[in-house]
Amino acid sequence: MGKENQTHVTEFILVGLSSNHQTQILLFVVFLIIYLLTVSGNLLIIFLTFVDSRLHTPMYFFLKNLSFTDLCFSTTIVPQMLFHFLVMRKAISFTGCSIQMFFFLIMGCTESSLLAVMSYDRYVAVCKPLHYSSIMTHRVCILLVIGSWASGVIVSLVDTTFTLDLSYQGLNVINHYFCEPPALLKLASEETYKAEMAIFAMGVIILLGPVSLILFSYWNIISTVIQIQSGEGRLKVFSTCGSHFIVVVFFYGSTIFTYMQPNARKMNEGDKVISVFYSVVTSMMNPFIYSLRNKDVKAACRKLFRR
């Protein structure tokens, strides 16, 4: 059929993670538990940082913003996933797909920037403790958060515009569980090279840039910690950095693998499984790794429950 005889796609069909009914029911239970843990954990962190004065510090200010981002990030994807696990026809309108992709990219890119900002905050706290209060002022913290959100919006606008500016005619089955640019590009009925290069360039800025800052921060933190005489002090910092590094590996490793491929049409079946790590799992892990294991947060929780 010629391109001129094909109609523009008005909706997409999502393949999902599995076509087996029993597997879908099992996945529904698993992802429902993950989503409930994500929502409850992040809401708890947001609430505690508002009501407990001991948590009114730059570190917890960034954690509060990270929790809000994670909450929105997960909500953009998981509720639709849960619904599609229970229905036969997993359809989403072109407009709905566009909106989901736009907000998914905003939250994901903002999280990438926030993780880098938080690593810089820890670098200043460990390596420049005497100057911490003068460097990480309230104004600086607000500007860093605004910058993180602005970078998310800008990258999302670029990626979404280049992806949706393509023509989609005929093919409308997305081999994925949500609308993500690399998966959508495979359905385009015209050359996607410009869109692929735009997404790749944005990936260099929003992924490799923050990763470089994180590696710089942790390298300096480790170099400083090695000089600490107290074995207990070294163990405490290494334990904290190790936990944070797990999040970094999960989030950036899986995201870079997906978005730093210049040719999106070469993506394979396993890519949508890998995307589960940065789109779903990381949002659940962050509250527990960054906050709920912290003694200040534990104390705030005990104080809240005693009330």
Q: Is residue 2 part of a domain?
A: no
The predicted structure's pLDDT at residue 2: 43
Residue 3 lies in a domain: no
Q: How far is CA 293 from the centre of its chain?
A: 21
Residue 4 belongs to a domain: no
Q: Which DSSP state fits 14? A: E
What is the extent of the structural domain holding 167?
10-306
Q: Which tens digits make up the pLDDT trace of 185-243?
A: 989 888 888 999 999 999 999 999 999 999 999 888 888 887 766 666 666 666 666 66
Least confident window among 67-81, 103-117, 169-183: 169-183
Residue 237 to residues 120, 122, 206, 230, 282: CA-CA distances in angstroms? Answer: 15, 10, 27, 11, 22
Count of domains forming the chain: 1
Torsion of CA 167, 173, 177, 178, to 10 degrees: 20
- Tell me the pLDDT tens digit for each residue of 18-76: 888 899 999 999 999 999 999 999 999 999 888 888 888 898 999 999 999 999 999 99
Q: Rounded mean pLDDT of 1-8?
A: 54
Residue 60 in domain = yes
CATH label of the domain that carries residue 85? 1.20.1070.10
Taking the C-alpha atoms of residue 170 and residue 165, their distance in angstroms, rounded to an integer, is 16
Could you tell me the pTM of the whole model?
Answer: 0.89
Write out the two tokens for 221: 């933190």
Whether residue 1 lies inside any domain: the answer is no
Average pLDDT for 114-141: 92
